[in-house]
Amino acid sequence: MKQPLLKMQHVEISYAGKPVVHDVSLQMQPGEILGIVGESGSGKSTLIKSAMGLLGKNGAVTKGDIFYKSLNVLDAKGEDLRKMRGPEMGMIFQNTSASLCPIRSIEDQLLESVLQHEKVSREEVKTRALELFDKMRLKDGERILKSYPFELSGGMNQRVGIMMAMILHPDLLFADEPTSALDVTVQAQVIREMVQMRELFGTGIAIVTHNIGVVEFMADKVAVMYQGKLVEYGPKEQVIYHPKEAYTRKLIGAVLRIRRG
Ligand SMILES: Nc1ncnc2c1ncn2[C@@H]1O[C@H](COP(=O)(O)OP(=O)(O)O)[C@@H](O)[C@H]1O
Ligand SMILES: [Mg+2]
């Protein structure tokens, strides 16, 4: 078997000394898509932040181990992780517009993020960006690059966020509710682009979502969180169509009921 992309072993995570995530173990293989579901406050964001070393001042992994490939994430110095963010681990959040600088063009921000990690010319980055936009069938690449975030729709900003992650070809992408703030019509596009990222670059993706349809469409495996615990974890076919846990059945049932209504 190949070396896992991400391995969590009996992970406990605490804020200010109080555990909020308990005894989570999971593994992602290269190129795998993991869907993480569960109600608000169940620890989904905390879990993915821990793997990126982004828990913040009062957060810490208090038990267990996390490995990214062969790197022990918990032993890594902040600097090691900062270097890995981008070329190794990419991320997309619910609202890319908020994480972009409002007074700088998309082009400047894209350039900066690439030049932080690679010694290449401005022109080369631009060419690569336009090629990527083209591959993603994003029309009007030149115009998008010249735009400021406020000039683009929420959906377009989100797609730009994906491009910014994609241009560095990371091996692992964390996506925390990347479509929750989007209109239904744009949601599908964003999801398709993430799947394409896996197809083009072999990127493994851990995606937090409330949308079981998204999980059905893209995930290989599903992790169900409830009150800080991983209550069910396995291949999508098993977790979605043959859930073992009553909680998973309730969660899936609730979503389907809303969809039908
Ligand atoms: N920075 C923080 N400081 C203290 N508690 C936090 C912090 N972030 C999250 N929590 C708490 O940790 C638990 C899990 O939160 P979170 O990971 O954001 O859940 P989810 O993403 O599933 O909605 C919640 O009880 C939340 O209130
Ligand atoms: Mg969250």
Ligand in nearest proximity to the CA of 14: 1
Tell me the best of 20, 36, 208 to mutate to test the pocket of ligand 1, counting ligand atoms within 8 Å of each CB and taking the most: 20
Give the closest residue (by CA) to ligand 1 atom 26. Answer: 41
Q: pLDDT by residue (tens digit) across 40-61?
A: 999 999 999 999 999 999 999 9
**Site residues for ligand 1, CB cut-off 6 Å:** 15, 20, 38, 40-46, 56, 58-59
Q: How far is the CA of 49 from the centre of ligand 2 (A)?
A: 10
Q: pLDDT tens-digit profile of 205-214? A: 999 999 999 9
By percentage, how much of the chain surpasses pLDDT 90?
A: 69
pLDDT tens for 61-116 read 999 999 999 999 999 987 888 888 888 999 998 888 788 899 999 999 999 989 98
Q: For the segment 199-255, what is each residue's pLDDT rounded down to a tens digit?
A: 999 999 999 999 999 999 999 999 999 999 999 999 999 999 999 999 999 988 877
Residues 117-139: what's their mean pLDDT?
89
Ligand number, closest to the Cα atom of 223? 1
Q: Best of 15, 37, 48, 226 to mutate for ligand 1, by most ligand atoms within 8 A of CB?
A: 15
Count other C-beta atoms under 10 Å from residue 79's C-beta: 8
The CA 146 to ligand 2 mean position distance, Å, reads: 32
Q: 38 C-alpha vs ligand 1 centroid, how far in Å?
A: 13
Q: Is the pTM of this model over 0.95?
A: no
Residue nearest to atom 2 of ligand 1 (CA): 15
Q: What is the 3-state secondary structure (H, E, C) of the chain?
A: CCCCCEEEEEEEEEECCEEEEEEEEEEECCCCEEEEECCCCCCHHHHHHHHHCCCCCCEEEEEEEEEECCEECCCCCHHHHHHHECCCEEEECCCHHHHCCCCCCHHHHHHHHHHCCCCCCHHHHHHHHHHHHHHCCCCCHHHHHHCCHHHCCHHHHHHHHHHHHHCCCCCEEEEECCCCCCCHHHHHHHHHHHHHHHHHHCCEEEEECCCHHHHHHHCCEEEEEECCEEEEEEEHHHHHHCCCCHHHHHHHHHHHHHHHC
Ligand 2 centre to CA of 176 (Å) is 7
CB atoms within 10 A of CB 39: 14
* All domains in the chain, ordered by first residue: 6-260 (3.40.50.300)
